[in-house]
Structure 1
């Protein structure tokens, strides 16, 4: 637990500062697989990535913090499956993802490369559970058979 405290503080600090400056700039994250979802367009990920969208009403939401801990600990497993994490903690921005998916508080949404919504959860999920869902998807099964593994 002591090892997670610096990570939680780092995530909370980075997202908190980004949320305060949301009107002037996009959120920035230290990993290229975690990006701001406030201005994202799902069409740009079609057939390239599996968007995993994390919504929260505030970066201080304990469920959001826990979810980001889960994701940060296993980003390699998500990268193998072409997952891109989109984060939206600003409900007042009313971005296109919020309009399309209509979250209420915390919400986790997994969208396939084909644009289909495969998972929608109101609580944090471990990367192991998320990757199990992804590995059962028909397109992922095809990637495994073809030996692509997820480019």
Structure 2
């Protein structure tokens, strides 16, 4: 009987420890990648850098390749406060699609202040996207602030 209680206790504590670790874990892909109908650009102003990926169809090979490149290095984008917004339904005419007016496949990177940093008609590697972000004055200031906090 004691052995059974011990096993149940160990299982319970292991489960609750795992849940606690999951709550403090990194953001999930579902939190970092959102469909356009669940987001507006205004909600990310000064908080996140939207990376909007458009296609006329989710089977577009360029869209598939871009999303594969993004998901392989999602951690590098999260580190730079990037939120990925996807829109593969032109007929839905989402507010983001109406504002950015893509033609076929396109991805657009938007700064935290709402200005468009880059627009590309072909997939880009996350390393190239990260470099574009890292050249921005606000990102450079964030890095300086982060290093200043770490030194104190």
The residue that corresponds to 1:92 in the other structure is 91
Report Cα offsets for 1:49-81 as digits up to 9, x if no partner. Answer: 000000000000000000000000000000000
| Aligned alpha-carbon RMSD (Å) | 1.3
The residue that corresponds to 1:7 in the other structure is none
Please state how far the C-alpha of 1:41 moved relative to its aligned partner. Answer: 1.1
The residue that corresponds to 1:77 in the other structure is 76
Aligned length: 120
Please state how far the C-alpha of 1:32 moved relative to its aligned partner. Answer: 1.3
The residue that corresponds to 1:124 in the other structure is 123
The residue that corresponds to 2:52 in the other structure is 53
| TM-score normalised per structure 1 | 0.77
After TM superposition, where is structure 1 displaced by more than 3 Å over at least 4 residues in a row?
Answer: none
The alpha-carbon distance between structure 1 residues 75 and 49, as it changes in their structure 2 partners (threshold 3 A), is same
Structure 1: unaligned runs, 5 residues or longer = 1-28
Tell which structure's C-alpha radius of gyration is larger.
2
Please state how far the C-alpha of 1:119 moved relative to its aligned partner. Answer: 0.4
Decide which structure has greater helix share.
2
